Amino acid sequence: MIRVLFIARYRDATMHRKVELLRQHPDLAVTTVYPRYWRDELLTVQQAAQHDPSRITLAMLGNPADPHRALYRTLAFGMLRMRPHIIHAEEEPDSLAAVQIAAARLLFAPQARLLLHSWQNIIRPRALPVEAVYWLTLWASDGILCASREAVAVLRQHNYKQAAPVIPAVGVDTQVFVPREREPDPTHGLTIGYAGRLVPEKGVDVLITALQLLRADHRLPPVRLVLLGDGPTRPALVAQVLAAELGDRVEFAGAQPPAQVAQWLHSLHLLVLPSRTTPVWKEQFGRILVEAMASGVPVVGAQSGAIPEVIGDAGLTFPEGDAAALADGLHRLVVSPELRRVYARRGLAHVQQYTQTSLAARTAAFYRVLRHAAPPARVMRA
């Protein structure tokens, strides 16, 4: 039996599903640690402490939604009682929580293997203390699960020698996100959707410009755009919509909790993620893409970061920032119901590698390899 201590900032049912599936593997005994409280712009969650010793909730110092500067209010994370073989912490290597967990492993479970997780797919400057945390946790870890091939490449550029398989932390819950047939409304035509933060790097302005270009073709059926999310660029985007005389075509639906996203996807005919790269960020995964594919919604994404990898041949991509290219791709999909059906079918097949079932199985397989592998040599930065 492999004893796994699983530490993650999970807060909704679609996230917890992966752990439920891990627990179904008969050779794994999984103890979870979650934040007791979670609060962000969408959710306020209190996860009550349970009498089940395999489920631990802990208060945190700092904001649990801050991936880098929050700590757990504990010293040992239950390691002395559990004596884990594997400590799997879905924390970034440059986070305070990662170095806290690495120190606890050293003190209370030195024989356990430590796994971390990384979304980071771009090399960005760090303050000296953060750089020190990063190198300490790279040295301490026995493996890092990555969200994309680009994230693996970043680790290798930092001379990381241990295992770094591409196994995203959170996939799509196919019990929640399910396909449903949809046809254009004879009055409103097709609905295009975007879900995410309203910030410059998400490229929503490019999507609005593409919609303006589509409207210029009067042969097309009506096309409307629904923006799910909120953020600092909302006033500028509203002004752009009004200046383009698209007020009757664009709806700002505001931020919605995860439980509402699946229902919203069923109202769409297309989903667009128009992200653009900045000097310090590019799209790390695009969870809404796999949720849309699992819902039978064709997807279109910018060629930013992990988006082309996640979409594969199951949707269209366009050069980031290129509104004309985006409009051209949307035009092809708007005029062709058959093409939309082709990409919907491809998406349903392609997304199977990103389901919580698939990710749990691949994670369990990696646990087995790590449990029986020889301890790695610890090499500090060259």
Question: Can you give 189-241 as a three-state secondary structure string?
Answer: EEEEEEECCCCHHHCHHHHHHHHHHHHCCCCCCCEEEEEECCCCCHHHHHHHH
Closest CA to 105 of 82, 81, 79: 79
CA distance to 266, 272, 290, per residue, from 181 (Å) = 8, 19, 17
**Is the sign of the CA dihedral 31, 35, 40, 43 positive or negative?**
positive
For 80-133, how does the pLDDT look when each residue is reduced to its tens digit (9 = 90+)?
999 999 999 999 999 999 999 999 999 999 999 999 999 999 998 889 999 999
pLDDT over threshold 70, residue 219: yes
Task: Give, in words, the CATH class of 190-354.
Answer: alpha beta
CATH number assigned to the domain covering 2-171+355-372: 3.40.50.2000
Specify whether the CB–CB gap between 140 and 116 falls below 8 A.
no
- The domain ranges of the chain are 2-171+355-372, 190-354
The confidence score (pLDDT) of residue 256 equals 87
**What's the rounded Cα separation, in Å, for the pair 132 and 357?**
36
pLDDT over threshold 80, residue 377: no
pLDDT over threshold 60, residue 381: no
**Is the sign of the CA dihedral 142, 144, 145, 149 positive or negative?**
negative
Range in 119-128, 260-269, 357-366, 371-380 with the lowest mean pLDDT? 371-380
pLDDT over threshold 50, residue 382: no
The confidence score (pLDDT) of residue 372 equals 87
The confidence score (pLDDT) of residue 183 equals 65
Which conformational region is residue 268 in: left (phi greater than 0), alpha (psi within -120 to 50 degrees), or beta? beta
**What's the rounded Cα separation, in Å, for the pair 234 and 199?**
8
> Which one has a higher pLDDT value, 39 or 362?
362
| Both structure tokens of 161 | 């020698």
> Which one has a higher pLDDT value, 43 or 83?
83
Average pLDDT for 158-186: 88
Average pLDDT for 139-145: 97
- 231: number of Cβ within 10 Å: 15
pTM of the model: 0.92
Confidence tier at 45 by pLDDT (50, 70, 90): confident
Average pLDDT for 351-356: 96
Mean pLDDT of the chain: 93
pLDDT over threshold 80, residue 139: yes
Average pLDDT for 365-381: 77
The confidence score (pLDDT) of residue 184 equals 61
